[in-house]
Amino acid sequence: MASVPSRVSSRIVAGIKRFQPILTAAKARDINESDTVVIVADMLQEVFGYDKYTEITSEHSIKSTFVDLAIKLDGTLVLLLELKAIGMDLKDAYVKQAVDYAANQGVDWVVLSSGVLWRVYRVHFTKPIDHELVVEFNFLELNAKNEDHIELLWMLSKESWQKETLKEYHAQRQALSRFVFGALLQSEPILEVIRREVRRVSPGIRVEIAEIANVLQQEVIKREVLEGDKAEAAKRLVSRAANRTLRTTAKSSEDDTKDASSSESTRVTDADSPDKPTAS
């Protein structure tokens, strides 16, 4: 992840210190949704760095309804925020509502928040539309001296969009997901390595790749990691990576063959050429 610029870090630290007492008092008063929206709009400006008048849009129209807040950068919609009253739980039904808004607008990222609780989702434009929780934090539990907490807020800041920090963080999470690990364990290169190590442990034992794969699937890897849309997506990801490697290897071999052929042709030409005349 890109390091947080000092100017942004200072703003985030000041924002944490400023808004934690405000949110604590607002929660004690159990303020309603519209008042929560006002506080969050201020947070978007003072903590995350968006211009309140040109980049934060209130009541953005989506079909016949409205999302509470939206972020536009250079005229492009980059983030939708669905907000609930500060004391409300962020139920699954609210998540679906927020994701539906994003799907209708073709926006990849959506936030569901009560001002205190923040959840950032990546929308997947599959059939049906899917979503994935990428970042979650409780603003009242953040520590202004904790670099990890500052980085969490940095990912939602205006400056990080240009660096695609949130996208990079999501890609890293995907690469380290249990579904990708499950798919990798079933891939042929890993199965070959396991077979080699089994033979090392038990010399003379004949072990087939299919047997190893069966043990992994039936006795080692949890079924939830092997089945479902996320498991299938992980298998496709691993397969595409393997195919890219094969294509790169094939191209490299082809180039080596061409180079060798060219060198051989040059040697033959030089050998067949008559000697240059010697100056008298």
Which CATH number do you get for residue 42?
A: 3.90.1570.30
Q: What pLDDT, on a 0 to 100 scale, did the predictor assign at position 259?
A: 61
In a domain, 1, yes or no: no
Which residues are CB-contacts of 19 (< 8 A; sequence separation ≥ 6)? 39, 42, 43, 46, 47, 139
Q: pLDDT at residue 124 above 60?
A: yes
Range of the domain at 122: 6-163
Stretch 206-215: mean pLDDT, rounded?
Answer: 86
In a domain, 280, yes or no: no
Q: What are the distances in angstroms from CA 23 to CA 30, 48, 56, 67, 160?
A: 10, 16, 20, 22, 25
Q: What pLDDT, on a 0 to 100 scale, did the predictor assign at position 54?
A: 92
Of residues 60 and 10, more confidently modeled: 10
State whether 209 and 154 are in the same domain.
Answer: no
State whether 128 and 236 are in the same domain.
Answer: no
Domain edge (last residue) among 104, 136, 163: 163
> Could you tell me what percent of the chain has a pLDDT over 90?
35
Q: pLDDT at residue 19 above 90?
A: yes
User: 53: how many CB neighbours lie within 10 A of its CB?
Assistant: 7
In this prediction, residue 170 has a pLDDT band, given cuts at 50, 70 and 90, of low
In terms of Cα–Cα distance, which of 34, 57, 51 is closest to 107?
Answer: 57
In this prediction, residue 252 has a pLDDT band, given cuts at 50, 70 and 90, of low
State whether 23 and 94 are in the same domain.
Answer: yes
The two structure tokens encoding residue 47: 């903590």
State whether 126 and 192 are in the same domain.
Answer: no
Q: pLDDT at residue 279 above 50?
A: no
Average pLDDT taken over every residue of the chain: 82
Q: What pLDDT, on a 0 to 100 scale, did the predictor assign at position 202?
A: 87
State whether 154 and 193 are in the same domain.
Answer: no
pLDDT digits (tens, 9 = 90+) for 136-150: 999 999 999 999 999
State whether 150 and 225 are in the same domain.
Answer: no
In a domain, 276, yes or no: no
In a domain, 14, yes or no: yes
Q: What pLDDT, on a 0 to 100 scale, did the predictor assign at position 151?
A: 92
State whether 156 and 23 are in the same domain.
Answer: yes
State whether 31 and 133 are in the same domain.
Answer: yes
Q: What's the CA angle centered on 57, arms 53 and 110, to 5 degrees? A: 135
Q: How many structural domains compose the chain? A: 2
Q: What pLDDT, on a 0 to 100 scale, did the predictor assign at position 65?
A: 59
The whole-model pTM stands at 0.67
Stretch 266-272: mean pLDDT, rounded?
Answer: 56
In a domain, 274, yes or no: no
